Amino acid sequence: MKVKTLFFGAIGEIVGMRESEIEISDGATAGDVLAEYEEKHATLRGKRILIAIDEVHSDKSVVLEDGQHVAFFTAVSGG
């Protein structure tokens, strides 16, 4: 199955794109998708990365469904 991945802020700069589509196996989690990108982009490892699935803040353990949008971004603070 396929999911669309979106990258915001520093994450997009690290992976060199703002969006992509990735083929994943049934039962894959958001954490599995993140791990694939961490494998290709070692500088992602150790960063505090937040996840949203279909525009809802989510956890790495959420099992994904075909066609979902998975966004990765870093926490931002303002003042």
C-beta of residue 71 within 8 angstroms of C-beta of residue 8: yes
Average pLDDT over residues 71-78: 81
User: Domain 2-74 adopts which CATH fold?
Assistant: Ubiquitin-like (UB roll) (3.10.20)
Report the percentage of the chain scoring pLDDT > 90: 90
Domain ranges (residues) in the chain: 2-74
Alpha helices in 2-79 (DSSP H): 10-15, 30-40
Residues 16, 58: Cα–Cα separation, whole Å: 23
**Each residue's pLDDT tens digit, 11-25:** 999 999 999 999 999
Q: Give the predicted TM-score (pTM) of the model.
A: 0.91
Residues 79, 4: Cα–Cα separation, whole Å: 32
